[in-house]
Amino acid sequence: MSSTIGITPPSGITPARQGLGSRLAALAKIVELGPGRVDPKLLTESGQLLLRAGDRLKLSSDHTVVALAGGTGSGKSSLFNSVSGLDLSPTGVRRPTTARTHACVWGLEGAGPLLDWLQIQWRHRFARASALDKGESRLHGLILLDLPDHDSIRALTDTEADRLIQVADLIVWVLDPQKYADASTHRRYVTELAGHDAVTIFVLNQADRLAPEELAECVADLEDLLRREGVEHPTIVTTSATTGKGVDNLKAVLADTVARRRAAIQRLEADLDRLTRRLAEVVPDEDAPPPPVAIDDARRIGLTDALCDAVGVPAVGEALENVYGVRSVEWVGWPYARWAARLRSDPLNSLNLGDIKDEIRGLTGGAVTAQPAEVDNAIQALADGLTGGMHETWQNGVRDAARSRSAQLPQVLSEELTEVAPSLDRVPAWWRALLAWQYLLVLLFVAGLAWVGTALAYGVFEVGELPANLEAFGDASSLPWVGLMMVAVLGLGLLTAMASRNFVVLGAGQERDRLEREMRRRVGTTAESMVIEPVERELARYNEFYTAVRSVRG
């Protein structure tokens, strides 16, 4: 007796067609964004599925394409004839018998383009005429395909069976008791179509060859085998094409599928699910934090800091501050101290200044050796901070984007910094004013000296007579006052020099700050265009991809 065992109604996950549409749109996005990041084979398969889905959804939704597949001699053609009630497809003992796919259509209207798409030859298309349809109206919309066997050594039939197994809405695996555990059926297709429970039926044909208890054993064994292959809820129907037992059960399952008109969508959904599982391997788990969309301020600052260090901005700033300090002595120092130092001809002083100037010119004059290794480290640190949780291929993508212009970066940075190189010979106006002031004081001192000389010569040693209008200069009593004035002048000069020192320190600090700020700004702008922007583009691409994978999951 034929029986229907383990029929599990396709689970309730039957999203509306719109759901499938948006999932397919997400898949299209993945195909667009995936190259270079996703296994090309997977992308090719995704592209093929998109094409197939596009085609199938455009064609008749009133028809359900059911393919009878299986090894040669299992009884596909016999079952095809038995279900259709006509002797349409030759059966035989010579293997393999069926070379080209035969199709029988219940309700031909509108099926033409679908049959064309399935590439069924005209002479192998059959229709159940309305006169013959009595009692068969429940199968209206069924397109039953009798495939060539899928394991034939003949490449032609093999390809055709393969092709139609890929595109049919529902696959009916026809197995016979001798070969149901056939590796080629199970390994090559069943494993690949695991997860397609809703659109796969297993028919154990030639049931008449077995005793009832043997049949039950066989079914249990097959069920076990299928579960092991990953088919969670196998639908198994036992039939005998020759006696007709169980064929009605098979028809009932087919009628149910045809009536719901969901097989086409369920098939595409199952294919999509399968792809999704593989695609999901390149994105983090659901509960992982979502990837960053943009680079936050702290990371931008971190990168700018690191690049500033790599090009030696603080060193340039410090050198500038030193040059400023050393040079200021020439202008705002106490002239007497300077002259005394010169007399001592302290070569170290001028050498130092020369060295510092050379250093600063070196740092800013194109020879800014923005240490490539340090630049690279800075970029690497940025990329590493962003890619936590990402799949390796996307981590590499972000890293590559960050490094995309790193070869030119040191050069561009040094060019930028050269433009803001400080003018080392610039003299602030207040330095000039102070110099003039100090020289004025020196003049006063010299005048005082002359006065003292004159007073001593004419007032004390009385070497002669001064003209009447210059008598005051020869008056010895003026000596203490003149002396006092000279001490005051010296003291004023010294005080001015000391006060200036503080202003010089302040000014040097300000100059350094101004220079460093400008350099940082330039480094920041360069980092923005050469590192941050490419990385953000890649992050945006990853985010789109990530969202698409989420959407394709449905």
Ligand X SMILES: Nc1nc2c(ncn2[C@@H]2O[C@H](COP(=O)(O)OP(=O)(O)OP(=O)(O)O)[C@@H](O)[C@H]2O)c(=O)[nH]1
The answer to whether residues 82 and 247 touch, using CB atoms and an 8 Å cutoff, is: yes
- Determine which residue in the list 17, 58, 95, 521 makes contact with ligand X, applying CB under 6 A: 95
Closest residue to ligand X: CB criterion? 75
CB nearer to ligand X: pick between 172 and 303: 172
Instruction: Tell me if 177 contacts ligand X by CB under 6 A.
Output: no
Measured from the CB atom, is 206 or 526 closer to ligand X?
Answer: 206
What is the helix (H) or strand (E) element at residue 53, kind and residue range?
Answer: helix 40-58
Selection from 112, 97, 175 nearest residue 143 by Cα: 112
How many other CB atoms are there within 10 angstroms of residue 440's CB atom?
13
Residue choice 3, 200, 206, 526 for contact with ligand X (CB under 6 A): 206
With both helix axes pointing from N to C terminus, report the angle between 429-454 and 313-332 in degrees, rounded to the nearest 10: 30
**Is residue 238 within the footprint of ligand X (CB under 6 A)?**
no
Q: How far is the CB of 243 from Mg ion (least distance, A)?
A: 18
Give the CB-side neighbour count of residue 445, counting CA atoms within 13 A. Answer: 16
Sequence-separated contacts (24+) of 493-499 with Cβ below 8 Å: 493/334, 493/335, 493/336, 493/438, 493/441, 493/442, 493/445, 494/334, 496/332, 496/334, 496/434, 496/437, 496/438, 496/441, 497/332, 497/333, 497/334, 497/337, 497/438
What the block records as the tokens of 411 is: 């050069």
Q: By C-beta, is 78 or 266 nearer to Mg ion?
A: 78
Chain residues in the site for Mg ion (CB under 5 A):
76-77, 97-98
Min dist. Cβ of residue 28 to ligand X (A): 37
Least distance to ligand X, CB of residue 259, Å: 26
Burial class (CB in 10 A: 0-12, 13-18, 19+), 28: middle
Tell whether residue 526 is a contact of ligand X (CB under 6 A): no
Shortest gap between Cβ of 280 and Mg ion (angstroms)? 39
Binding of ligand X at residue 387 (CB under 6 A)?
no
Residues 6+ apart with CB under 8 A from 188: 150
Taking CB under 6 A as the binding criterion, the range among 203-211, 247-255, 366-374, 413-421 that sits at the site for ligand X is 203-211
Shortest reach from residue 154's CB to Mg ion, in Å: 13
| Among the residue ranges 162-170, 202-210, 310-318, 406-414, the one whose residues contact ligand X (CB under 6 A) | 202-210
We find the least distance from the C-beta atom of residue 25 to Mg ion, in angstroms, to be 40
Q: Between 180 and 542, whose beta carbon lies closer to ligand X?
A: 180
Contacts 24+ apart (CB under 8 A), 378-385: 378/303, 378/306, 378/307, 378/309, 378/310, 379/303, 379/403, 379/406, 379/409, 379/531, 381/302, 381/303, 381/306, 382/295, 382/299, 382/302, 382/303, 382/531, 382/535, 383/535, 385/299, 385/302
Rounded distance between C-alpha atoms, residue 369 and residue 526, angstroms: 16
Build a one-symbol-per-residue string for 116-155: x at contacts with ligand X by CB under 6 A, - elsewhere. --------------------------------xx------
Q: Which is nearer to ligand X, 75 or 410 (CB)?
A: 75
84 sits near ligand X (criterion: CB under 6 A): no
With binding defined as CB under 6 A, does residue 257 bind ligand X?
A: no
Nearer residue to ligand X within complex by CB, 72 or 249 = 72
List C-alpha distances in Å: 20 to 56, 197, 265, 465. Answer: 13, 18, 8, 122
Min dist. Cβ of residue 3 to Mg ion (A): 24
CB of 5 to ligand X, least distance (A): 17
Residue 159: φ, ψ to 5°: -65, -40
Instruction: Kindly state whether residue 101 participates in binding ligand X, applying the rule CB under 6 A.
Output: no
Please identify, among the stretches 3-11, 52-60, 71-79, 273-281, the one whose residues bind ligand X according to the rule CB under 6 A.
71-79
- Rg over CA atoms, the chain: 47
Q: Which does residue 149 bind out of ligand X, Mg ion, none, counting CB within 5 to 8 angstroms by kind? A: ligand X
In the bound state with ligand X, the residue whose beta carbon lies nearer, of 76 and 251, is 76
Q: Minimum CB separation from Mg ion for residue 80, in Å?
A: 7
Q: Which has the closest alpha carbon to 66: 136, 167, 160?
A: 167
Q: Which of ligand X, Mg ion, none does residue 141 bind to, with CB < 5 to 8 Å depending on kind? A: none
Question: Which of Mg ion, ligand X, none is residue 58 near (CB under 5 to 8 Å by kind)?
Answer: none
Q: Are the CB atoms for 102 and 89 separated by under 8 Å?
A: yes
What span, in angstroms and rounded, lies between the C-alpha atoms of 220 and 3?
A: 12
Selection from Mg ion, ligand X, none that 276 binds (CB < 5 to 8 A by kind) is none
Residue 438: contacted member of ligand X, Mg ion, none (CB under 5 to 8 Å, by partner type) = none
Contact residue for ligand X among 72, 84, 364, 454 (CB under 6 A)? 72
Contacts with ligand X, residue ranges (CB under 6 A) = 72-78, 91-93, 95-98, 148-149, 205-206, 208-209, 240-242
